[in-house]
Amino acid sequence: MMDDDTRYEAVRSRDGRFDGIFFLAVVTTGIYCRPSCPAVTPRRHHVRYFATAAAAQGAGFRACRRCRPDAVPGSAEWNVRADVVARAVRLIADGVIDREGVTGLAARLGYSTRQVQRQLTAELGAGPLALARAQRAHTARVLLQTTRLPVTEIAFAAGFASVRQFNDTIRAVYAATPSELRNAAPAARDHGAATTHAAGIPLRLAHRGPYHSASVFDLLQRQAVPAVEEVTGRPGRRIYRRTLRLPHGTGIAAVHERPHAPRTGRGTRTGGWLEARLHLTDPRDLTTAVQRLRRLFDLDADPYAVDERLGADPRLAPLVAARPGLRSPGAVDPDEAAIRALVGPAEAGALVRRHGKVLDAPDGTLTHLFPEPAVLAEAGAEGTLGALAAALADGTVRLDPGADRDAAHRALRALDGLDAATVAEIRVRALGDPDVAPPGTPAPDSWRPWRSYALDHLRVAGELEL
């Protein structure tokens, strides 16, 4: 918990560790910023604090053009927590409201729309529609500044119900028209135009603190399933590419490894980003695709909190010092992650060859989508694989971003042949749980709530079997 004194000190020191944790708004300018904004620090009595960008926007503040507060990493709190608010935030980030509305969100959570509205507003200062609106505005800005898509197409691709709603929101959030926002982009100033749709959408996937990319790319390379994934290049400059099944179509994502920047004379880097490019058959999938990549690469983690807790343990301290910012990767498709945890990379490749859907436009070695559980169940998959595929297909086991982790755990354990170690891996990768310790592994309570990260440190260091 933070009080206003702590928040203001973070703002005065331009501490990037708190970017995305809270936002500040300046009443004299009508602008809201991230804590690390390079602008002159406002007087304390002119500052208001908000838990979300949506809350600041709802109070009538517009986004700062210098620090782009809409582009900060998400709060790690929503991955740690398992209550209804955290589950709702994860679902909204995945674009559920744009696809199913608030009614669909509430149904997935098992609450009434009124209860969801009340709980989100009480804790975040904004209801589900306001949170979705802020996300749509960010998506629209990215599309305006990185593609040549017509403004009308961007409006609907970002999730707006009408062009008028789109124009009004952009003016309210950015104090600019869509055309002005597009013309202000570096690509427009430096090169005369943004990229074409065929060239994909270039992105910077922001993260806070250090990021140990080598361990993430090592894992992805070791577990890559041919036709669905590939990792190319030399260590430090690798590119991870994979196919994506998305709500409105398909996609191909490419994410570049970025070596960890060393300490400088002014201290430790407070954040950075991974360069990425998305090729989507339908731009309406941009928000969902970005969020799924963020989960895969664990970009919303708080490495400061993780390293502080684990670095206090004598066994882990040298490992944390050697690999600051170690991440616990998730998955772009939780159902796929569950099946792969069960069968392993080799059999996963065989499943792709036999049952994977061929892309309409293959891209090099990327030719297939991983088969859906329903396809595997209908194809007569047997044994534990058949039971898992059927349970995922009929909803007996739910692993989506809003799933109740404990309920999913119980449902998985009820399946014949699914052992505790596999269920633990599914909980880490598919459900993004940062605090999992498989039975029989050394994970004292002092490592909570970051036991998943602690065990990753031990695995990367070779002290636990991979």
**Residue 465: its pLDDT value, please?**
76
What SS3 class is residue 116?
helix
Query: What is the 8-class DSSP label of residue 72?
Result: S
Q: Give the model confidence (pLDDT) of 216-244 as tens digits.
A: 999 999 999 999 999 999 999 999 999 99
Grouped pLDDT means (10 residues each) for the chain, 466 residues? 91 94 97 96 96 97 94 92 96 96 97 98 97 97 94 96 96 95 72 60 95 97 98 97 98 90 44 94 96 98 96 97 97 98 97 98 97 97 97 98 97 96 97 94 94 97 84
| DSSP three-state, residue 243 | strand
**Cβ distance 136 to 128 under 8 Å?**
no
**DSSP secondary structure of 432-451:** --S----TTS---GGGTT-H
Instruction: State whether CATH 1.10.3720.10 applies to domain 334-433.
Output: no
Q: Is the peptide bond before 449 cis (omega within 30 degrees of 0)?
A: yes
CA Rg, the chain, in Å? 22
CA–CA separation, 166 and 160 (whole Å): 6
Domain extents for the chain?
Answer: 4-71, 77-146+148-191, 197-331+448-460, 334-433
Beta-carbon contacts of residue 59 (< 8 Å; ≥ 6 apart): 25, 48, 50, 125
The CATH number of domain 4-71, selected from 3.50.50.60, 3.30.300.30, 3.30.413.10, 3.40.10.10: 3.40.10.10
- Range 197-331+448-460 has CATH code 3.30.310.20: yes
Q: Are 443 and 454 in contact (CB under 8 A)?
A: yes
**HEC letters along 149-193:** CCHHHHHHHCCCCCHHHHHHHHHHHHCCCHHHHHHCCHHHHHHCC
Distance set, CA 88 to CA 80, 91, 129, 159, 279 (Å): 13, 5, 12, 18, 28
Amino acid at 267: G
* pLDDT for the residue numbered 260: 59
Class of domain 77-146+148-191: mainly alpha
pLDDT of residue 265: 37
Q: What are the residues facing 276 on neighbouring strands?
A: 203, 255
For the whole prediction, is pTM greater than 0.85? yes
Distance CA 368, CA 352 (A): 7
pLDDT at residue 197, rounded to an integer: 56
Angle at 205 between CA 124 and CA 302, to 5 degrees: 55
Residue 204's identity, in one-letter code, is R
